[in-house]
Chain A
Amino acid sequence: MKTLADLEEIRKRTLDNLNTRKDEHATRVVVGMATCGIAAGARKVMAAFIDEVAKRNLHHVTIAQTGCIGLCRLEPIVEVTKAGEEKVTYCKVTPEIAREIVASHLVNGVVPRQYTIGHYENG
């Protein structure tokens, strides 16, 4: 028999997964998955994002794919847009960097600048 607390627990737990169907205020994580992306290993990067989000029970996160944005030599490219904030583009992302991005940017709200395109281009 469930108590009110149990109900709340089920609600939170299931909502995280379901937000993909409804949420306009989610943090969007977009992984480049064109041929260049896939060739550079973007599949593993996406899998790392999914795994990390699931492990940490993060609320309001959607993970989507996109096509080629042109900077093929810098793939795998990941764009993270938090609601109300500017888009941050990361380049040459690896599964390890992906997990760092989740921890630093998504959870703590601190952008790990060393992995962004801006830093790569400008040193």
Chain B
Amino acid sequence: MSWFSDRHLFLLAVVVYGLSTTYSVFLWRKGFRRDDHVNYLLLLGAFSLHTSAMFLRGFRLNHCPVSNLYEATTFASWSIVATYLALGLWPRLRFLGAFASPVLFGIGVFALMPSLDAPPHAINSQVSSVWTSVHAALLSLAYGAFGLSSVAAVMYLTQEHNLKLHKLQAIFSLLPPIQRLEAVVGRLLLSGFVLLTVGLALGAFALAHMPHPQAYRGSPKIVWSAVVWLLYLSLIIMRWKFAQGGRRFALGAIGSFVFVLLTFWGTNALDALHNP
């Protein structure tokens, strides 16, 4: 079975994410009126395949699989589905799966692009240490939390829209109350921000121990990370200090994650330190 690699397992996981996305279309059309066991089980199955793929890769590399873009992307999407499965233990939050599966499927298809799974660059090996592994893992978890918070924000906007327009679906659906959804968005975003802060601090620590760290001061990835950190910090401050909750907060969570999605790979490509 030497032909069967961890990528094949991940491919299977992406296929199940695809099935879950298709099933989610039916859930949307039905208006979320029945308990969402099927989608939860589909995502649980995909999670098992996804986890096995990551384990295989981790055992092969003998360290946490976050050394290239493919691994970082699969780690981030793994943290999205893991957090969803935990939240989905509450029946009404189970419908998050219908909003999460298209995101997981999209990220999964993107991660499977062969060019993303390149062997680590020499400069990466130079800085390779436990700290950089933890740095990359924490950031992947942070982006996972941001991803799920944006998914919950889409769910919030859907329910808010239905309530505002007096659609009967707002009443008939089994979606949770919007106030609870807003709390879920806020908590996931805060958790992601804490992980991002610790992850970036560890990255800075690892960078400080490299020869000529000042050479990377203007690195696109470092500047980008600072921008993302400030973006999420401003969202959190706006919510807690200036009471900008509700729709604006949800739009902010979605917009910030879309920004991360669209720029993450580009800044990596431009950066010598992070580009494999």
Do A and B come together as binding partners?
Answer: no
